[in-house]
Amino acid sequence: METSELHDFLLDQSKLAVDWEEIKERLQPKVLTINGIPVFLFDLIFNIANQLIDDQLVISLQRPFATVPMHVHPYIELVYVYQGTCTVQINEQPIELAQGAMILIDKMTPHTVLETRPGDMVIDMKLRHDYLSSSFLNRLTGKSIISQFLINSMIDKRRTNQFLYFPLDGVKKTGQIMEQLMCEYFDRGVCSHDIINSYLVILFTELVRHADIRGAASPGRRQEDASIIDFLRYIEERYRDCSLVEMAAQFKFHPNALSAILKRATGKSFKDLLQLQRLNKAALYLKNTGMPITDIAEEVGYSSMSFFHKKFKEVFGETPSEYRNRKGE
């Protein structure tokens, strides 16, 4: 399927009706109470033809005039406005999504997509936990602590009722990636699974560039979450000689306060984040260059080879030499 054919395909699929009352009657989903709100537990997934499916990744379409009941599910959902607009309600908060916008909704977060109009085309992508915990996540998070924070915030059991909102005003690239991904998904051929995974990695990485984290409990917390991106980007860019004191001074925080914010948001201390970024860079050099390991250690900020070897093995489960030899197989 070419991108020029995608619109007509989605238009034909949008004509299929869906009756949520009939679905509720047939499947008898459990009703939970979350934050005082009664919600349905939908642990089953329907494909674009409105058939039950058990895949780890499913892309479907919101039907016009169909309001999905307030619900939760044990998987992550990405809502993407391919055409028109839509309103997503999370808990009691309505969020207006314009064309091109995306929103990632964490598992077990009460939400609904309100009734759409005939001209609206709203895409739902379901990602089960097993899918995200596979080698896909390693490809995505291995190079960037920002990526790691964004994805971990979605799968970490300590964080609940969260979402990531990407307005993407004027950003065309993410829409183009989604089109290519959907074309491959709806018209599969040789190596489609690998191609779809690659598009997802590109999509999630592109979203990192346009991160606008919202959905926390208060304006103060939303500001803190937005600041996390700047904090992590600072570590990424200055990992060779970054210090907590200098970083705190840069952002006008007390070092202890900054350290507490990082720990609360990522589950890791400043030192842990710094080590992780250095080691990720070292792994990148080991995989893609012939630099001596001593030079790599120095390049990423380690003056002690024994300490570098110790930390590398703690994170990757093998020595730098073993990692390089295995990656070269």
- Domains within the chain, CATH numbers bracketed: 3-209 (2.60.120.280), 241-329 (1.10.10.60)
Residue 169's pLDDT is what? 83
Residue 222's pLDDT is what? 43
**Residues ≥6 apart with Cβ < 8 Å to 149:** 228, 229, 232, 265, 266
Residue 205's pLDDT is what? 81
Contact 327, 321 (CB under 8 A): no
Residue 75's pLDDT is what? 83
Q: Give pTM, 2 decimals.
A: 0.64
CA atoms within 13 A on the CB side of 70: 17
In this structure, what token pair is assigned to residue 113? 């997509």
Residue 164's pLDDT is what? 79
Distance CA 96, CA 115 (A): 12
Distances (CA, A) of 171 to 21, 213, 263: 37, 17, 32
Residue 138's pLDDT is what? 58
Low-confidence residues in the chain, pLDDT < 70: 17-18, 46-54, 65, 129-161, 211-227, 327-329
Residue 311's pLDDT is what? 92
Residue 220's pLDDT is what? 43
**DSSP code of 69?**
P
Residue 55's pLDDT is what? 74
Q: Which of 183, 175, 238, 262 is nearest to 210 (CA)?
A: 175
